[in-house]
Amino acid sequence: MAGRKGNLMGVRDDIKLLDATIRDGGLCNNFEFTDEFVTELYKTNVKSGIDYMEFGYKASRNMFNESEFGKWKFCKEEDLRAIVGDNLSDMKIAVMADVGRCDYRTDFIPKSESVIDMVRVACYIHQIPAAIEMIEHFHTLGYETTCNIMAVSQVSTEQLTQALEMLSQSSVDVIYLVDSYGSLYPENASELARMYIKAVEGTGKQIGFHAHNNQNLAFANTIETMSYGVSYLDATVQAMGRGAGNCAMELLLGFLKNPKYNLYYLLKFIEKYMLPLKEQGVVWGYDLQYMFTGMLNRHPREAIEYTNQHRNDFSEFYKILLENY
């Protein structure tokens, strides 16, 4: 098919895998991972050939009470260094900064003094000007940057076109297509991906994709957008992430043909650390309530609340969602 980049047997050097387990998975357990878990995941990602590891959010300590969250809600420099030292590996360290929920002018030191390599700026479409201001600040400090436009499935084509034009003229390195509600299908995910790719033509910028698995399509959408030229692929171990979770890293490691990626070490980590998490009662992953919100293209908050209540009256929940559609 016209427009596809590479083939199933080939290796594309532009592909970068980003592990978001601690950040997106942290939304499932309030970021309360043990230091051992985070350290072993870091070591596993290095051995697996992962390109970036996102440790969590750089949230405002004025807005959020530190005593109510695990340390990866805040990603303080000393906490990161306690895990990675000076990070003498080829894998880069990333954190996420939400527009309006971080103190970016005071909480980030120059890149030359930090172990962080990349700052991922997350925003909604109406926050694009604020996101660009943050991106320029981080660029001045020396960091790689991404802009992750959330809830894009509810954004008008006109708004998205304008946002992409503004970002293509900014200093951002990677623009992320984010399927926040897990509502995209391969057909429209790839259409959006091509729109993003076209918007940055000739700028040297890359496009990334962040999937949610509400309709069991996170992996399918990830490799479909990749096939049209998306380079940065987000994934989490065993798809651990908010609500229905994300694209599973083990699926991508099994799919990509680049010999630098190695699935074996991740499987060892799953055996030793992910299975106990599930046994402790941490909940994530595809289920019917998430399918409903994905189908209806809406935020999964109602489905998350439904899950927390241990309900199984799926037909009633579906009926209520339809009545409020």
Can you give the pLDDT at residue 325?
A: 84
Cα 143 from Cα 137, distance rounded (Å): 9
* pTM exceeding 0.95: yes
First-to-last alpha carbon distance for the chain, in angstroms, is 36
Question: pLDDT by residue (tens digit) across 31-87?
Answer: 999 999 999 999 999 999 999 999 999 999 999 999 999 999 999 999 999 999 999
Mean per-residue pLDDT, 156-172: 98
Residue 1 has pLDDT above 70, yes or no: no
Can you give the pLDDT at residue 142?
A: 98
Mean per-residue pLDDT, 273-283: 97
Residue recorded with tokens 């990749």: 226
Average pLDDT, the chain: 97
Residues in the chain: 325
HEC string for 195-238: HHHHHCCCCCCEEEEECCCCCCCHHHHHHHHHHCCCCEEEEEHH
Can you give the pLDDT at residue 3?
A: 85
Residue 18 has pLDDT above 80, yes or no: yes
Residue 2 has pLDDT above 60, yes or no: no
Residue recorded with tokens 């609500």: 243
Angle of helix 186-199 relative to helix 157-168, nearest 10 degrees? 40
Residue 257 has pLDDT above 50, yes or no: yes
Question: pLDDT by residue (tens digit) across 91-116?
Answer: 999 999 999 999 999 999 999 999 99
Nearest in space to 122 (alpha carbons), one of 191, 58, 50: 58
Strand pairing of 16-19 and 206-210? unpaired
- Phi first, then psi: give them for residue 206, nearest 5 degrees: -110, 165
Cα 170 from Cα 205, distance rounded (Å): 10
% pLDDT > 70, the chain: 99
Question: pLDDT by residue (tens digit) across 284-325?
Answer: 999 999 999 999 999 999 999 999 999 999 999 999 999 988
